[in-house]
Structure 1
Amino acid sequence: MEVEVDKVVRQAVEIVGKASNIPMSFFRAPLDLEAKDDDSPVTVADRKTEAFIRAELAAAFPGDGIFGEEYGTENLDAEAIWVLDPIDGTRSFITGNPLFGMLLGRYVNRKPQLGIVRMPALDETYVGAAGHGATCNGTSIRCRGTQRLSEAMVYINETERLLADDPARFARLCKAGHTRRMAYDCYPHALAASGQIDAVIDFGLEPYDFLPLVALVEAAGGIMCDWNGNPLDLNSDGRVITAATPELRDELLDLLGA
């Protein structure tokens, strides 16, 4: 099994590495935009990137299921399912901000096996596999050991949406931690996995936004859950916590539930 996981990791990293060339060929260039039903922007780069990755996955892992943002689901009854977001942070991408990412995760029997965050414009690849640890560009990474929220560096994602939907919780979060930053998308979760920050509060996500992150964060020693402390799955409501330690998770759950 170990050799098999190593092979899966190598193949998946190779696929996202090759796929990175597609968004980078469009980055900071004029783009034709569409609006999805939720008014989020879609670009030709999103569609081309996902189509490439899906084709590569189908060739390398025939029989596996796929859940992608742009082209939907295939074979979700399979033992192994890939979850894919070709450009996580399309608004960053179309405004020339390099903090957009590419997400790819693999679940086996509904358990996270592999999680990859590829940052094409930064040339960073974060990889975590169950039982195999986590790396950034091949160097081992691990979550910080911070146990007190008062000492933690906290990122709050999707702040406009959170403020509009739940201003009371947003106000409490703005007082949490030693240091706070407002942010978006997948990169803060990668920063938590690599020990740069301690926690991320996220909101309004879809399964392809958070499921690929779980194996990475857990392999780095951290925790991901919903705002009720439950494990994340396809039916989660999109409210997500990433925490470096159980103690931080518990304090954040208390804060969010107060």
Structure 2
Amino acid sequence: MKNECSYVRDVLPLYFENMVSEDTAAFVEEHLKTCPGCFSELEAMRAETKTEKQDGVTARALDGEALSSMKGIRRKLRRKAYQTAAIIAAIFIVFCVLLYYFPVYRVLEVGHVKFGDYYTGEEIAMALYIGSAPDRRQAQSVLRLADEAFNDVRHTRAENEEKYGLLARYATNTDSYGDMAYNEHTLELWSAHLNENEGWLWVYYSSQTFDHDGSIVCGSSRVPSLWRVEKNAAGEWTVTQIREHP
């Protein structure tokens, strides 16, 4: 019997895995019916296998939970990153919009060493807000006339004053410079603050006049200028005062 148990226990792992012949399986099964010890060995193998399967299921479940948790964390981090990017973009847009309507950096152009020396604080403050859209639209007629004056290199001082008024100072008169070829300039409306019949415009310009040889005869570069404007009898805006730091 002892030799038979030894044989059965040797082949028991193969029997458990269904890897023995039918005759051997029948012999083992017959023996297990009468041998509690070998039957206990089989039960122990079954229990161990069940535990391993349960451990495997538990491990896979834990791995699945860990993976799901990691995915959840990644989603949260990604959502936070998107939210942070959106907040930064919104702040940047607001900053740009505020800077467009309130270009405070212009104080460096008109306020540096000029504050209290030539321009008053109130005048400088007008340059730090571009003005309303209706005011800026009304100011365009004045800028168009100024553009004409800058481009004019063909008339005398008296003719320019008759045509452009105070803006004649930006024309190149033939009295002083003779026959010139052309003018190149930039003219930017900084701000417009208009009441019903009067107001102020801040402009910023550069200008160069060339002779027929292509040489620069006269010009000005990056000049901030404050223009007082009033409506004439025809209801048109005209420049009545020009304030430029010497």
Name the TM-score, length of structure 2 as normaliser: 0.22
Higher helix share: 2
Greater gyration radius: 2
Greater relative contact order, per chain length (Cα 8 Å cut-off, separation 6+) = 1
Q: Provide TM-score, normalisation by structure 1.
A: 0.21
